[in-house]
Structure 1
Amino acid sequence: MTTDWTRDVKGTGQYAEVNGINLYFETHGAGRPLILLHGGLGSGEMFGPVLPALAEHHQVIAVDLQGHGRTADIDRPIDVRLMADDIAALIDHLGLDRPDLVGYSLGGAVALQTAAKYPSKAGRLVVASVNLRPDAIYAEMRAQQGQVSAAAAEYMKDTPMYQLYQRVAPRPEDFPRLLDKIGETMAKDFDFTEDVRNLQVPTLIVAADADMAPPSHYVEVFNLLDGGLRDGGWMGEGRSKGGHALTILPRVTHYSIFSSPLFAAVTLAFLDEQPS
């Protein structure tokens, strides 16, 4: 299996002791701050192919979430709401003024929860490939998720997730433990409907046209944000009142969207647009 996850993009790496965790992050570029959050079993390096574009006009802070990449695990579940507290604490630690939040999959759910719980700390929000509920995911994918546990570690040694973890993790032997925790997280029921409905920051919903859930599900998410409910009007007067937006990217999947130039392009277009 080939991957661009570990493309050699150099940034300034450091740790922050926040919220009971030693959180690793890398800083790239300069400009208005953008916190970038990776998917499950990955790290900030997943975004290597798109980091140069994102960092051209932004200070990109790519975080390794709990138990991922260079951030060691701690004694608590992997829970997006708890990790949102980590990101809020990091924002305070760095003295950032309402940075934009950009996240994919697990990281997208963390970004969503950060904006939902701490709206005064967030600027704009981009969430890619994030589902409202488990039942939105294709049944065959739910079945695969149910098989994620430490027992799968041996079978994952040829995957980019395992190889990246072995190369950068503080405790490479913790990979089976991470699989157990991710499996437990995916087995739990959740519903982000009210979190989305109550978002107070401009939000872009991004999905692949061949994602883990059908495109109609991401339209449902957009509907919760007052989007896609009426004609937009000649002057845009019928658009979502909160400045929210939706994009479905062509010819990408859940497993390639985060490294697609299209993802970088729509993210930058949304973050950098002038308020109407």
Structure 2
Amino acid sequence: MAATDRSPGPGEYAEVNGINLYFERHGAGRPLILLHGGLMSGETFGPVLPALAEHHQVIAVDLQGHGRTADIDRSLDVRLMADDIGALIDHLRLDRPDVVGYSLGGGVALHTAAKYPSKVGRLVTAAANIRPDAVYPEIREQQKQVNAAAAEFMKSTPMYELYARVAPRPGDFPRLLDKIGEAMARDFDFTEDVRGLRVPTLVVAADADMAPPSHYVEIFALLGGGLRDGGWTGEGRPEGGHALAILPGLTHYDLGDSPLFATAVLAFLDR
């Protein structure tokens, strides 16, 4: 079997921005673009896909260098990957799909909505911090160890097993770790990107996430949320239809495949 023929999967490819972007479609209805976390792929949403696909046509994308999408000569940057999603929306001729992202995908989803508000219906950004200093210090120390040298130690993990099974070029795994490590080491502040959002946005986090709940409350406040009483008829809720969900009993690592996540997403998108 040739390297490019590994586990072709049931999905499709779209040539956008110089990248051969893999995606799968599930269900029918209003389109929902679903974006996974780092070192994951669209199929890691498997436990929640049936619930989401009951109500929507779910378009689960494998982001740059992840899953069945081969890497290209470009840094791993959420803003560049947002351009890929904007181009995919055009390629598929979608009419303002909702965009839902978790962790790395949450950052990509946020920037897709920020850069292309006319192309997006509603936004869900889950477990995505907007400043690196929001993350707990011990986690930031762990992130510094993510590089090609860690590849051998990760070969016993589910993340590597998934990558080795489906990636067009499994030998790129060390390169992916280097790129993710570099991305996490960069300084950034997406405060103004959040403040400028013009689509209804749901901010989601686990109650024991990678950053404290207060950080996600801060993000909600940038959208005008949590600053006053909502009122009997919701007249005090933030303008623009924004909302916040802190999901109980979860962590950063099991949030994206939790039934609570699907419930919160559907409640926001379908109300």
TM-score of the superposed pair, with normalisation by structure 1: 0.95
* Counterpart position of 1:199: 197
Deviation sequence 1:109-142 (CA, Å, 0-9, x none): 0000000000000000001001010000000000
Match of 2:232 among 230, 234, 241: 234
Q: Deviation at 1:236?
A: 0.5
Does 2:123 match 1:125?
yes
Q: Which ranges in structure 1 are unaligned for 5 or more consecutive residues?
A: 1-10
SS at structure 2 position matched to 1:258? coil
Structure 1 residue 26 displacement after superposition: 0.4
Equivalent in the alignment of 2:177 = 179
Does residue 1:247 correspond to 2:245, yes or no?
Answer: yes
- Large movers: runs of 4+ above 4 Å: none
- Pairs within 5 Å for 1:69-218: 69-218=67-216
Letter in 2 for 1:134: P
Deviations 1:88-117 (A, max 9, x none): 000000000000000000000000000000
Paired AA for residue 29 in structure 1: G
| Structure 1 contact 12–28 (Cα < 8 Å) conserved | no
CA distance in 1, matches of 2:157, 2:194: 33
CA deviation vs aligned residue, 1:24-53 (integer Å, no higher than 9, x gap) = 000000000000000001000110000000
| CA deviation map 1:200-220 (0-9, x unaligned) | 000000000000000011000
AA matched with 1:75: D
1:17 is paired with a residue of what secondary structure? strand
Pick from 257, 260, 271: which aligns with 2:255? 257
d(CA) in 2 for partners of 1:152, 1:208: 27
Aligned residues: 263
- C-alpha separation between the residues in 2 aligned to 1:12 and 1:118? 29
Are the aligned partners of 1:23 and 1:66 in contact in 2 as well (CA < 8 Å)? yes
Deviation at residue 158 of structure 1 after TM alignment: 1.2
| Whole-angstrom CA distance in 2 between matches of 1:239 and 1:82 | 33
Q: Distance in 2 between matches of 1:166 and 1:58?
A: 30
**Per-residue CA distance 1:34-74 (angstroms, 9 max, x = gap):** 00000001000110000000000100000000000000000
Shift of 1:12: 4.3
Distance 1:138 1:154 in 2: 26
Deviations 1:186-245 (A, max 9, x none): 000011100000000000000000000000110000000000000001111000111000
CA apart distance, 1:173: 0.6
1:166-200 Cα shifts (integer Å, max 9, x gaps): 00000001000000000000000011100000000
Within the alignment, does 1:269 sit opposite 2:271 as a pair?
no
1:36 and 1:159 map into 2 onto residues whose CA distance is: 23
For the residue of structure 2 that corresponds to 1:208, the secondary structure is: strand
Percent identity over the alignment is 81
- 1:160 deviation in Å? 1.0
TM-score, normalised to structure 2's length? 0.96
Q: Among 62, 79, 91, which residue is 1:64 paired with?
A: 62
Q: Which runs of 5+ in 2 are unaligned?
A: 1-8
Counterpart CA distance in 2 for 1:31 and 1:264 is 16
